[in-house]
Amino acid sequence: MPFHSSIVTIATIAFGCTALATKSEGSGLSHWEEPVPIYKKSSYCIDARVDDLLSRMTIQEKAGQLFQARINQEPLDGPEGASANALEGNTTNHMLDKHMSHFNLATGITNATETAEFMNLIKERALDSRLGIPVTISTDPRHSFTENVVRKFAEVTKEEYMAVGIRASLHPQVNLTTEPRWARIGNTWGENSTLTSQMVVEYIKGFQGDKSGTKSVKTVTKHFPDSGPMKNRENSHFVYSKNQIYPGNNFEEHLKPFKAAIAAGATEMMLYYSRSIEFSAEYFKARNYTVVRIPEEADYTLLRYNAPYEPRSDIKLDRPAVIPEVIERAAAVLGSYGSDNEAFLDVVFGITAPKGKLPFDLPRSMEAVQAQMEDVPFDTRNSVFRYGHGLSYAIPCDVKQT
């Protein structure tokens, strides 16, 4: 019997998915259109979509999701002869052959339109992968703020990130600055665990909202479980400095901001690159030994040394500076945390007033720094200025306060 028209059969299956069977006119053969996979259907719940996608992924594709590469705002695949550093993350090899889809934008943003167009190119490149897994673009901190406007700062920054396609922030950094020489103090909130805990809650709420969704930028709280109490103030990015110590048995204090972040809705944390080497008293108690305070009281003394290193100096307040001789001789001292020349001169000439407070103690000597326990806050002996110190200008009597 001849077919006079196309016959379309619609069969409803689980979760509301529909399959179409089409018989062409004049033919007895059936052609089934390949159904759209569940993970690409927004009508399905997230768990079902994730399970479907995972079931289709190879081991290599799953492994690629565990890595994050830096990406530069440069032509994808770059010009011929471009350096490996310029091409980092920008190659087809990273996105397709290595199955990576998480990238950290490493270059500055000078033109929001150009950055947004670059992000769109990356997303189009991701569509060429076997499963078309979307990319996630994140960034390290690009802004600064004061404690009383943290939520507003986070909300504004979120809008700026989303405008150019960044949906994940590799911050906040909530480590306590209990080791004055540590090189990464500049991105922290100081050595007060209570203040840091309060600020991280507002920070996460500002970026993610009360509940993560399409209007959120995901936060990555770092560095867990801590990175402040580094031995000899080194940075464990480097192979010669991986040792993290707690001579004051103060590990729990350093965990407080992370607990606050989890309670506020943090879903991701970045681990640090260090290893804890300090022998905690608990380890020895479990072995029926008693830990004493001075070597003369001990039957055994365990010592571990690092290889010699070349001392480095820096007087910026991205970490506590040992400058008592400067403070004693100067008529005034202004502490800066990264302000540009114009902002600095505005304060010098009274156009605006200094409002900041020290987020850490300023030590009087290197001996005091070396005597401080790496994991204990407010532990600097005879400091020049204490945590929270900060002066402003007197308000003239004829100026009305608003």
Task: Find out whether 244 and 277 touch, Cβ atoms under 8 Å.
Answer: yes
pLDDT tens sequence across 120-149: 888 888 888 899 998 888 888 776 655 568
| pLDDT attached to residue 21 | 39
Task: Find out whether 163 and 174 touch, Cβ atoms under 8 Å.
Answer: no
Instruction: Return the bridge partners of 102, or none.
Output: 136
61-70, 151-160, 317-326: least confidently modelled range: 317-326
Q: Delimit the domains of the chain by residue range.
A: 1-41, 140-371
Across residues 264-285, what is the average pLDDT? Answer: 74
What is the number of other CB atoms lying within 10 angstroms of the CB of residue 368? 19
pLDDT tens sequence across 342-359: 777 787 778 888 888 899
Across residues 315-324, what is the average pLDDT? Answer: 76
Q: Which residue has the higher pLDDT, 83 or 46?
A: 46
| pLDDT attached to residue 228 | 76
Across residues 244-248, what is the average pLDDT? Answer: 81
Rounded-to-integer distance, Cα 355 and Cα 114, Å: 36
Task: Find out whether 218 and 212 touch, Cβ atoms under 8 Å.
Answer: yes
Handedness of CA 286, 292, 297, 300 (dihedral sign): positive
Across residues 249-271, what is the average pLDDT? Answer: 91
| Max mean pLDDT range (151-155, 309-313, 327-331) | 151-155
Rounded-to-integer distance, Cα 131 and Cα 38, Å: 12
Give the DSSP H/E element, type plus range, for residue 224.
Answer: strand 221-224
- Residue 266 banded pLDDT, cuts 50, 70, 90: very high
**Structure tokens, 350:** 């009274």
Sequence-distant (6+) residues with CB within 8 A of 114 are 73
**Structure tokens, 84:** 């490996």
- Angle 205-210-216 (CA atoms, 0-180°, nearest 5)? 70
Across residues 284-310, what is the average pLDDT? Answer: 61
Rounded-to-integer distance, Cα 338 and Cα 214, Å: 33
| pLDDT attached to residue 33 | 61
Task: Find out whether 228 and 177 touch, Cβ atoms under 8 Å.
Answer: yes
Q: Where are the alpha helices (DSSP H) in 167-280?
A: 193-208, 251-263
What is the number of other CB atoms lying within 10 angstroms of the CB of residue 313? 6
> 150-164 vs 112-126: helix axis angle to the nearest 10?
60
